[in-house]
Amino acid sequence: MAWEKDVLLVHNEAGARGFLRDLEGGEPVFVCVIGNTETAKIPGISAAGRNPELTDYTPAADVELLLYGECRCIDGVPVTPEGIPTPALITRAALTLADIPVFVVNGGVRVKPLAPFIDVAGNPGADIRTGRAVEGVARVIERAEIAGASFAKAVDYLVVGESIPGGTTTALGVLLAMGVNARGLVSSSMPVNPHELKVRVVEEGLRAAGVKPGDLSGDPVAAVSAVGDPMIAAFAGFVMGAASSKPVVMAGGTQMTAVLSVIKGLKPEVLDNVAIGTTRWIAQDRSSDVRRLVSQIWDVPVVAANLDFSGSQIEGLRAYESGVVKEGVGAGGVTVAATLKTDGKVACDDVRRKVEEEYGRLITMRLQQHSTRIHAT
């Protein structure tokens, strides 16, 4: 296979090989599900924005970057507090190189993208410590399921990704509520994973909702409503619709296991058509364990894009190698799809080079904007 060195088989190798073979040469579509949760604003929870308030803008800015090659609702691109740029740069590079179309599903955001998006009647999520995190979960799942089914009729396969700051904490919430032993296993966009803080936040949410870990194992809608986020609802619904007839790559890190858990509770038969596609940084992360999470829920294949930024001249990209960001906006799954669609002609190194090029362009553009502004005043 032309893509062998670029796609790592992380879990359920036999299943992964079969799944990837089915996708070879097919024409995918990428769908990015966005959402906001107030949980992201708890200090220390999310690095998906220069500061907690700015995380409101990150999902909108991410998908603007995918669609336009630049953000519109903010200057520059979303960065962590240390200035490490959004993984949407990777997604954009892979989509561009392999000419893969992109659609946006609004699971529920505070800041709407200045771009077309699919509305599934979602609202932004509350702080999960309230125990009442998401409204209208069943409705959002139903509408997203219809959209997913329509897309599946039109294309060979779907790659579905997400952007929601604070999303690993809400994922932990759903996993614990549904009885998955997820303590210490979910990933983080930060260099040091704040597992204890996340567990404390979730436990406060569960208490407020009047439930104990595992109490909601049979009721995914209640779990997401209590301690989840709007992305999980829309993502699960969309996959339930799409995977009924076509393969779906769930593109993301450990958050995908919360989605998996929801789907398992509502429509498990579609999971034969599902794999998780992520990055090497998630697959090899020592502070989280996607394999152990998946094993507890449903043994879907897990594959990873063999992205390596250690040789990059750009400091902000080299930082990915030390465990910052790691994944997001479908970066890993989209890179895998780009490789498969082009029979290996778009390899991980091509994606890295394209990211460097685009990042350079965006930085230059921003400097020019600043200098224009200075000249103008």
- Residue 284 has what DSSP assignment? T
The answer to whether residue 144 forms part of the interface with a second copy (CB under 8 A) is yes
Indicate the SS3 state at residue 50: coil
Size of the site for a second copy (CB under 8 A): 28
User: What mask, x for binding a second copy by CB under 8 A, covers residues 90 to 119?
Assistant: ---------xxxxx--x-----x-xxxxxx
Closer residue to a second copy, CB minimum distance, 2 or 154: 154
What is the smallest separation between the CB atom of 152 and a second copy, expressed in angstroms?
Answer: 8
Report d(CA 249, CA 246) in Å as an integer: 10
Q: Structure tokens of 351?
A: 């994606």
The answer to whether residue 317 forms part of the interface with a second copy (CB under 8 A) is no
The answer to whether residue 143 forms part of the interface with a second copy (CB under 8 A) is yes
Q: Structure tokens of 170?
A: 């809400």
The answer to whether residue 19 forms part of the interface with a second copy (CB under 8 A) is no
What is the smallest separation between the CB atom of 143 and a second copy, expressed in angstroms?
Answer: 4
The answer to whether residue 11 forms part of the interface with a second copy (CB under 8 A) is no
**DSSP per-residue string spanning 242-275:** HTTTS-EEEESSTHHHHHHHHHHHH-GGGGGGEE
The answer to whether residue 27 forms part of the interface with a second copy (CB under 8 A) is yes
Residue of 153, 200, 207, 212 that binds a second copy (CB under 8 A): 153
Q: Kindly give the pairing relationship between strand 302-305 and strand 7-11.
A: antiparallel
Report d(CA 153, CA 294) in Å as an integer: 28
Closer residue to a second copy, CB minimum distance, 13 or 119: 119
Residue 365 burial class via C-beta count within 10 angstroms: exposed 0-12, middle 13-18, buried 19 and up = middle
What is the smallest separation between the CB atom of 208 and a second copy, expressed in angstroms?
Answer: 31
Closer residue to a second copy, CB minimum distance, 165 or 241: 241
- Residue 48 has what DSSP assignment? S
Burial letters 263-285, b for 16+ CB under 10 A, else e: bbbbbeebbebbbbbbbbbbbeb
- Pick the piece of the chain touching a second copy (CB under 8 A) from 150-158, 194-202, 249-257, 352-360: 150-158
Q: Which residues of this chain interact with a second copy, rule CB under 8 A?
A: 27, 29, 67, 99-103, 106, 112, 114-121, 143-144, 146-147, 149-151, 153-155
